[in-house]
A and B are shown apart, each in its own frame.
Chain A
Amino acid sequence: MLELTGITAGYDRRDPVVRDVSLRVAAGEAVGLLGPSGCGKSTLAKVAALLHRPDAGTMTLDGTVIRGWRHRAPRERRTAVGVVFQQPRLSADPRLSLRELIAQPLRSTGRRRDVPERVAELAPLVGLSEELLERRPHAVSDGQLQRACLARALVLEPRLLICDEMTAMLDASTTAALVAVVERYRAASGASLLAVGHDRVLLERWCDRTVRWGEPSNGSERPAVG
């Protein structure tokens, strides 16, 4: 499904954040990527989500070698990967209501007609009431906003879901609810998952296997050096 080989990435070519990292997520598999804050997990997640071009290394997605990131990646490839970010406040456009937030990917891909149906399907799934859907981000809590962000990531039915510290800002019950939503979606669709975080207990329970940043794990994989 997803294969990252020898990825080096960062924001300054002379001082990359991620050095020579490899990672594999098989079809339908849930992989947890563990590591301390600031080690480059999020950067690696952005590379995998086609949002950050690496300086070196190769990435394959569904058997295709990726040659372009961000807008240089074809739209269908970008939307095959759904992303949930760590901070819901920053990852929601403050001018949009939660309903519009969830609908954005549909509108971006010319599926405007599906908006009422898909939003009506997803909102109860992530636990958002009709009344909350009309509110704008400043009028809801972090947990409610993250629920909407998860719905947005699922609205195009991605084959790979990347959760970058999705639950770091949330309380235990919201965390449990969101993890359950992800697992229900994966059971229904067979999608793969890359969950990035530093909560070892959570990721070990949630994922089929976890990879620890900075330690060589089983055989071919060498998740990190730097």
Chain B
Amino acid sequence: MLRLRIGALIAAGAIAFAACSGATTAAPSVAQPSTPAASSGTGGSTAPSTAPSGPTPVNGGTWIFGSASDPTTLDAILIQDGESFRIAQQIYETLIKLKPGSASDLLPGLAKSWDTSSDGLTYTFHLQTGVNFSDGTPFNADAAVYNVNRWKNLPAALQGDDYYDVTVFGGYGDNSLIKTVTKVDDSTFSLTLTKPKADFLTAMTLIPFAMQSPTALQAHHADLGSKDPTNDYWQKAPTGTGPFMFSEFVPGDHYTIVKNPNYWDTANAAHLDKIIFQPIADSANRLTALQSGTVDTIDFVDATQLKQISADTSLQLITRPPLDIGKLAFNQTQKPWNDIKVREAAALAIDKSALVNAFFPNGAGSVADSDLINNMPAYEPNTGVGTFDAAAAKTMLASSTCPPPCAITFWYPDSVSRPYMLDPKGEYEAIKPMLEAAGFVVTPNHKPWHGGYLTDEANGVYPLFFIGWIYDYADPADGPGIFYATSTADCNGVKETTPHNCEFGEDNPAVATAMAKAIAEPDLATRTQDWKDAMKIINADVPDIPLVWAGSSLAATTKIHGYIPSPTQTEYFNLVWKDAGS
């Protein structure tokens, strides 16, 4: 999903589960708040911070960040893409935050603590006091209730422009998972769900659920929708409580934010005076800009550039832990992949190590054996299909319903490079002889990524194809829970009467049952085990061939300090500082 995917949530079901137990939660049990005040849950400094190490941070300076494109919106609830996430993360704040660099540890944010009812339906948030939006208006329970009501009753003109609102809360109005939201007092409000949602608190760390100034939203007509010419909210006045605030947006040229001089959490105020995001579409141009000193930091470094950057003493490489999966997938409803032996033969035929070494050099990726990433609690090594064995692949194919020569069509996308699929055509050309050695006769086919490939793939048109996933959060519900979900939507124009998985044809009822159980389970330990069980059933079906786990990298000059990379790209720039005078 999402063009540059950002991830933002985490497996922190832990929090949700503590909540569902009916405990009064001052601060999440898994969180390691940065300050004593936060850990006690009595308020105070909670913004992301890091333990002091190395040289003392220097205040001041302008940081130029070479991004890949402009943000597409900064009305938080509508944000989907990575560049918008990156900027919003600095000017807005959520009720609950992630510990910097962590994919699972939660910290108090604008809520210093929260209680959860024993039935897991009602959450009472106790808010930080003395907080103002950057327009000077107060952040209090009224503002929080306004924002939550906006999520629930998203204005009609905005519906369809959002992603996370529908994904997390299922719909709008009466269809929303949010039943009611009520002000208790000036610094407390409660929110009641229609049914328990195990990952609710985790979802609250996502920047689309940040608090925005009701005054600014109304003054700039944000609710009238993008087509209304009076709506200039996100281009002119995106207003939050964060350590930075909006300064200027020149489309295609730069987006500037400046230090919020009245930031409420003074202990975690920004070091930098100003951050300028300059869009540079091409990765080679981004590196040139970095080397020439035009920008200080760049994101989405190409795997082929990693060695060059590592060798440059004036640059540093900042690597995010992997949270992406690239794979070769089957549609089990199409021949010959409806025969599990054919799928197994293909899985045995591919030398993943050779592939990863060739296309994800310098540690840009590692060999995958599961749809889950190996740093997730529910991950277990996949023992279903053996590792690369050309002879076994040949034998397996010979005993299948499609003995050699077994004709197959292999789809790969054009005009795209994803973190988990840097060179689709090259990877196809490397895999083709491996499959042919097992007895397959491969016919290639391709389409532009945004030129029909994704649409066809989602509709189940392709029998064998490259695809991948960038997790929003390290929870299987955000991966297999989506890949193998079933619905009665049309598949390639064919009306389905029973729940069906279009994309992969994974219609095994045992998979659906196991996943539903795992997704609904509130207890973290039980839930983790449920996902392990579900993955065993999924892996036994061989719905795909996991190829690579990939992360992403940034590069910066050595004058930049304090950047803490996050697997979900939830990165806080109030921690970043530059050498004096640079």
Does chain A bind chain B? no
